[in-house]
Structures are given as structure tokens and as C-alpha cells.
Amino acid sequence: MRIGELAARAGVSTRTLRYYEEQGLLPARRAANGYRLYEESDVRLVAEIRALLANGFTLDDARPFVDCLRAGHDDGASCPESVAVYLRRLAELDAEIRALTRRRAEMAGRLTQACPGCVLSPGFANDRETTDAHAHDGELRRPRTPRRQAGTGRILGGLVSSLQDDRADP
């Protein structure tokens, strides 16, 4: 198959495929006219690369997985080199989580010093009502009422009646 077909089937641009080729991840054979030619198995290679990138892996991290697939394995993670990348990335993630946990504890400590009456919950940063309810002077105010989404009949806060669509149905 040619590059355009592979791009369409894999859900990427032809530029992305050329970049993967430059990086040595996606081999392209050439037709007599110079066009790149790909095999059916290359769709799987691109899918593997995209899945790894979506999970925070780099192109260098993806290399052992691609090599494993090219060697004929059904799964790019079934080779020892791929497992080693998984183990390394998990260790890196664990280190990042520990660092974020320390940073959060430090920030929570500073907030507790700045605002002794503040109550911290594990989901504090995601609790919009709690965050909105706190004034900077240490006093609590009434939580905001949630905004309603504009829709039919809600034009300009209800001041304008909804518009009728008098077009005939197709």
C-alpha cells in the first residue's frame, strides 16, 4: 500500500509516517517510480507507536516494541527489551508520583499556615464548590449557584423567546 492509504488506515498524517521512517521506526520500501510502499503489518506498527506515545512513551521508548513486532511476535511487549522499557517507565512514574506527593504536602502545609480554618480534603483541587466558597480574607461566603447552559428558550437569559424553525423537514 502507498503512504496515503497507510496514513488513512492508521489515522495519522503522511508527514507523521515520513517522520517515523526518518527515525528508523517504520521501514518503507520503494517502488520503481520512487513511491513508498508499505505492508499490511505496518498498520500494526503505527498503531503500536501511537498507543505508546499516547501513554507518555517517547519514540526511543517505542523502538523495542516495534522491533519486537517486526521480529514476528504478536505483541510488541512480549520481548525482554520491551519489558525493560515498561519497568524503567514505571520506575520513572513512581518517582514523579513521589515528587508530586511531596510537593502537594508542602503546599498543603503552607495553605494550613496561611489559612488555619481551611479544611483540606484529598480532592480539594477538584472540588470547585469548596474552592469558590473560600474568600482570600479567611471568611467563607455562599457557594455560587451552578451556571445553566444556554439552550432553546435561554437566549439572553430568557429575555428573548426561543426561535421557531419554520423550515420544512428535508
Condensed to tens digits (0 to 9), the pLDDT of residues 51-69 reads 999 999 999 999 999 999 9
Output the pLDDT for position 116: 80
Output the pLDDT for position 71: 93
The closest of 86, 92, 28 to 61, measured between CA atoms, is 86
Output the pLDDT for position 119: 72
Q: Is the pLDDT of residue 12 over 90?
A: yes
Domains in the chain, CATH or no CATH each: 3-114 (1.10.1660.10)
Q: Is the pLDDT of residue 50 over 70?
A: yes
First to last CA, the chain: 40
Mean pLDDT of 76-101: 96
Report the length, in residues, of the chain.
170
**Residues of 82-94 as b/e, b for ≥16 C-beta within 10 angstroms?**
beebeeebeeeee
Q: Is the pLDDT of residue 154 over 60?
A: no
Q: Is the pLDDT of residue 168 over 60?
A: no
Output the pLDDT for position 112: 87
Chain-wide mean pLDDT for the chain? 81
Digit-coded pLDDT (tens) for 110-131: 988 888 877 766 655 554 444 4
> Predicted confidence band at 143 (pLDDT cuts at 50, 70, 90)?
very low
Written as nine digits, the cell of 38 is 508499505
Q: Is the pLDDT of residue 133 over 90?
A: no
